[in-house]
């Protein structure tokens, strides 16, 4: 009798083990397309870029190993990459605070109005529109001679607008305005979803204690929304460092090199000068900058991000 019970228990255990193995195999089968895409389109190119950064190659001729020489050339005091880093940093400093703050204000406004779905669609439409198409439209709006913005400035305010895309003082802010306008809907939708999911009990308790609207926002809403703001900020910084489409269409890095950004520099090195080693070294530098900035953000998040709610 005991042997039969043990045999039955062993059979059940083996059957359960086989079932778990089969379920695990099916899980890997369903994950395989995504893993294959990650391997083919992300990991292998990433490793290959690190390899190319150590060689000199024009895309057709022989490959010559140069070690760290590409990095030394790219980081030289008079290099174009340094100019690109400065321009990109200036662009990020304008775009990230502008996009996050404006998106938060719009999300707060839409959170209390009727017809949120319609407004979400309207604000999100520019984000899903082609960046090239958006840049072409804004190139007409920002034209210094016959652009609509300068026409309105003359008619309404009786002032002569600047040459937005050809003046070194305004070119980076102009590109930043275009990027903020296009990406505003993405940040707004995420922040609005976060606002919709905040528990109402804390706000009700604060109202009972006599908190006004500003105190309610600063002491209750903002701390509870801080994880979503942190997410939006991290994504905005990563996207901003990779700006290319707007620069390529609006200015091609000009005037001079006043809007010459890092990704445009990589494009220029690789596909206009055919220096794939130097372009790869610049891409590695960009990767490391984004990695360091992101790690710094994560290391500082406990100082202002509240995960208790």
| pTM for the whole structure | 0.89
Q: How far is it, in rounded angstroms, from Cα 3 to Cα 7? A: 6
Q: Give the per-residue pLDDT at 7.
A: 62
What pLDDT sits at residue 4?
65
Task: Map tokens 């009798």 to a residue.
Answer: 1
The domain spans of the chain are 2-52, 72-303
Mean pLDDT, consecutive 10-residue segments, the chain of 309 residues? 62 82 89 90 92 94 94 92 96 97 94 84 92 94 92 92 94 96 95 90 85 88 93 96 96 94 97 95 96 96 82
Q: Cβ distance 206 to 215 under 8 Å?
A: yes
Backbone angles phi, psi at 55, to 5 degrees: -130, 165
Where residue 127 falls (left for φ over 0; alpha for ψ -120 to 50; beta otherwise) is: alpha
**Rounded CA gap, 256 and 278, in Å?**
21
Q: In the prediction, which pLDDT does 178 show?
A: 96
Point out which residues pair with 65 in neighbouring strands. Answer: 55
Look at residues 245, 226, 233, 242 and name the one whose alpha carbon lies nearest to residue 305: 226
- pLDDT of res. 265: 97
The per-residue pLDDT for 27 is 85
Report which of 39, 7, 53, 77 is spatially closest to residue 284, judged by C-alpha positions.
53
Give the distance, in angstroms, between the CA of residue 230 and the centroid of all CA atoms in the same chain: 13
- Residue 273 CA, chain-centre distance (Å), reads 27
Specify the CATH class of 72-303 in words.
Answer: mainly alpha
- Which H or E element spans position 244? none
As a residue count, the chain comes to 309
Q: Find all residues with CB under 8 Å of 206, minimum gap 6, and list them.
A: 215, 216, 219, 220
The whole-number pLDDT of residue 255 equals: 92
- And the tokens for 2? 């005991």
* Per-residue pLDDT, 2: 57
**pLDDT (0 to 100) of residue 259:** 96
275 is written with which tokens?
């220096």
């Amino acid at each position: 009798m005991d042997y039969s019970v043990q045999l039955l228990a062993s059979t059940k255990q083996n059957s359960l083990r086989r079932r778990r193995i089969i379920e695990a195999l099916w899980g890997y089968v369903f994950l395989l397309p995504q893993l294959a895409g990650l391997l083919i389109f992300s990991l292998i190119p990433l490793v290959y870029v690190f390899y190319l950064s150590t060689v000199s190659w024009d895309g057709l001729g022989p490959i010559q190993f140069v070690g760290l020489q590409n990095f030394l050339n790219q980081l030289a005091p008079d290099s174009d990459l340094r100019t690109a880093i400065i321009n990109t940093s200036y662009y990020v400093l304008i775009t990230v605070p502008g996009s996050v703050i404006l998106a938060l204000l719009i999300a707060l406004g839409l959170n209390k109005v009727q017809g949120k779905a319609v407004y979400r669609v309207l604000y999100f439409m520019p984000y899903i529109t082609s960046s090239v198409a958006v840049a072409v439209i804004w190139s007409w709006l920002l034209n210094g001679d016959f652009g609509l913005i300068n026409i309105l400035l003359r008619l309404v305010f009786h002032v002569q607008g600047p040459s937005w895309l050809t003046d070194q003082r305004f070119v980076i802010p102009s590109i930043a305005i275009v990027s903020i306008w296009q990406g505003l809907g993405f940040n707004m939708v995420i922040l609005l979803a976060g606002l919709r999911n905040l528990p109402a009990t804390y706000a009700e308790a604060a109202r009972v204690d006599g908190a006004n609207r500003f105190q309610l926002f600063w002491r209750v809403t903002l701390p509870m929304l801080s994880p979503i703001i942190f997410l939006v900020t991290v994504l905005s910084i990563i996207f901003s460092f990779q700006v290319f489409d707007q620069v390529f269409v609006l200015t091609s890095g000009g005037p001079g090199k006043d809007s010459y950004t890092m990704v445009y520099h990589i494009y220029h090195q690789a596909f206009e000068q055919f220096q794939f080693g130097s372009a790869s070294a610049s891409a590695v530098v960009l990767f490391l900058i984004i990695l360091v900035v992101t790690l710094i953000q994560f290391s500082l998040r406990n100082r202002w991000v509240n995960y208790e709610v």
